[in-house]
Amino acid sequence: MADSPRHPFLHGLSKHRGAPPTVVVIFGASGDLTARKLIPAVYNLSHDNLLPADFFLVGYGRKPIPDEEFRTLAAAAIKEFSRREPDAGVWDRIAAHTSYVAGGYDERAAFDRLAAHIDAIEKRLGREVQRLFYISTPPSVFAPIVLNLGASGLAAKHPGRPHHSKVIIEKPFGRDLASARALNETIRSVFAEHQVFRIDHYLGKETVQDLLVQRFANAIFEPLWNRNFIDSVQITVAEEAGVGSRGGYYEQSGCLRDMIQNHMMQLVALTAMEPPVSLEAEAVRDEKVKVLKAISPLTIGPEGNVARAQYAGGMIGGKTVKGYVDEEGIAAQSATETYAAIRLSINNWRWQGVPFYLRSGKRMARRVSEIAINFKCPPGTLFAEGGRFDLAANTLSFQIQPDEGLSLILNTKIPGLETRTQPVKMSFRYATTFGSNTPEAYERLVLDAMIGDGTLFIRGDEAETSWKLYTPVLDYWRSVGREGLDTYAAGSWGPASSDALLAKRNHAWRQP
């Protein structure tokens, strides 16, 4: 049967980026991330003919699972979580090369068995294969896994052979600056930097990637992308959900570690970076690091630029929900923040004096992630008559989730005999323009790692620079306990202290 015609907006896009013969080993293969994201990502890459012909998937975990059972679990994950309906022919190609190895993460003998398993695959093929290790486990075993990969000979530094062995490491990458540095040292003892892919799935989202295209491929935006025309930038990552069954994890994490230090700082870097000299990975990552290094240290206290809070009971979707301290596994006197707001100042030529406001929280009014660029208001001399003109600041917003796209707020004349104005929104949505079956972030990131493109991954010095900014805040909060910890009702947009943070500069949070 002939291929169905491609959507006209997709004309000219590459249908294939070649990867060498590859074995992908997933550590933590029985975990939730593997089922929800990684297995469906592999399936959809195969569906799009983006996997190499010689592709092998190996699950690794503590729990002994026969190969056939692992394949059954993988097929069930595809049926439940894939963006496409399962295709038997596509799955059969993957299943034929899918296997499982059981062992502890600190068990050297198990890694030797894994090495023998991959050696057998190479012997059967008659050539070497690329080895891509995906560490999707609790952070406590990141270092043992990396060290055992080195000790068993499964991985080694290969400066001249970038396709031989690589490692993808899930977040959180450290808990503070010291732990991030220690983890980087461990990784660099086994892998060269170009073999390391520190993943942040936000960077795989279409709207985040489109941010650079909008900035640097449109002449109407780049000349305005500076302190002369932009009044402020607001970045929001809000969730309706509470901590649910993840209370034990969240108590050790909190909003600052879970969202702001990683996801949101990546959004800041892409929004504020200078044009790179090319789209090569190192050129892009160099500019991101420069932005992070230009951010002023954060101050804490009544006149500071940080606010934190916990959600109290409230209403979500018409239903009463618990407060954070009433959730399962949460201590009554917990000082863990479920909401944080930050005002960042970037001390460089482009952004001097432009505040970057970040907020993230659980149990908020609705689930939304967006970047809003608020331009300065035009002079009011022409449209200054009270009541007749409703002028709003022009705002360009990038919606990252749940409905990917972008919108621009403009002022326009209301039809009629009088000259009256009103703000209107012009919107673009990926689903309506390109079709709703947009590739998931993990598909792009797994493919990029296979072909060795590190553009959408975090470099080691980038992770450390971000931790350097936030570790003093975490240390201070730990020292004062619940002092200064605000509350907000579940179903609201956050605490009063967050609003006050913006009011100091005569700003207010926009409603996404």
Output the domain CATH number for residue 112. 3.40.50.720
Shared-domain flag, residues 163 and 211:
no
Query: What's the CATH number where 435 sits?
Result: 3.30.360.10
The C-alpha atoms of residue 38 and residue 54 are separated, in whole angstroms, by: 18
Q: Which amino acid is at 320?
A: T
166 with 249, same domain? no
183 part of a folded domain: no
Beta strands in 77-178 (DSSP E): 98-102, 130-135, 165-169
Quick one: 232 and 166 in the same domain?
A: no
Residues 97 and 214 in one domain: no
Nearby residues of 126 by Cβ (< 8 Å), 6 or more positions away: none
Work out the number of other CB atoms within 10 angstroms of the CB of residue 478.
Answer: 10
187: in domain: no
pTM: 0.91
Last residue of a domain, one of 170, 185, 217: 170
Q: What are phi and psi for residue 4, nearest 5 degrees?
A: -70, 145
**Is the same domain home to 136 and 266?**
no
Q: Output the pLDDT for position 10.
A: 38
Q: How much is the pLDDT for 393?
A: 84
* Residue 193 falls inside a structural domain: no
Whether residue 306 is found in the same domain as residue 398: yes
CB 71 within 8 A of CB 33: no
Residue type, 358: L
Residues 332 and 216 in one domain: yes
**Distance between first and last Cα of the chain:** 45
Q: 434 with 300, same domain?
A: yes
Tokens of 222: 């780049």
Does residue 21 share a domain with residue 161? yes
Q: Is 64 within a domain?
A: yes
Q: Which residues pair with 22 in a beta bridge?
A: 55, 130
- Cis check: omega of the bond before 379, within 30 degrees of 0: no
The token pair that represents 328 in the structure block = 């399962």
The SS3 assignment for 465 reads helix
Q: Which run of H or of E encompasses 343?
A: strand 339-345
Contact 500, 484 (CB under 8 A): no
The total number of structural domains that make up the chain? 2
Domain co-membership, 142 together with 218? no
What CA–CA distance (Å, rounded) separates 162 from 191?
Answer: 11
Residue 19 has what DSSP assignment? -
SS (H, E, C) 91-114: HHHHHCCEEEEECCCCCHHHHHHH
Closest CA to 321 of 412, 240, 224: 240
Q: What residues in the chain have per-residue pLDDT under 50?
A: 1-16, 162
H-helix or E-strand containing 211? helix 206-216
The pLDDT score that the predictor gives to residue 391 is 74
Same structural domain, 162 and 207:
no
Is residue 3 assigned to a domain? Answer: no
What number of CA atoms fall less than 13 Å from residue 500's CA on the CB side?
A: 12
Residue 469 is predicted with a pLDDT of 97
In this structure, the answer to whether residues 154 and 285 fall within a common structural domain is no
Q: Is the peptide bond before 402 cis (omega within 30 degrees of 0)?
A: yes
- Give the residue numbers spanning the domain of 271: 203-503
Tokens (6 digits) for 29:
């293969």
- H or E stretch at 65: none
E strand spans, 186-229: 196-198
Q: Which amino acid is residue 241, in one-letter code?
A: A
500 contacts 341 by C-beta, under 8 angstroms: no
Domain boundary residue among 170, 195, 229?
170
Q: Which of 145, 170, 195 is the last residue of a domain?
A: 170
Residue 495 in any domain: the answer is yes
Contact 307, 501 (CB under 8 A): yes
Q: Which two tokens stand for residue 214?
A: 């909008």
Instruction: State the catalytic residues.
Output: 263
Q: Is residue 371 part of a domain?
A: yes
Neighbours of 300 (CB within 10 A): 17
101 within a domain of the structure (yes/no): yes
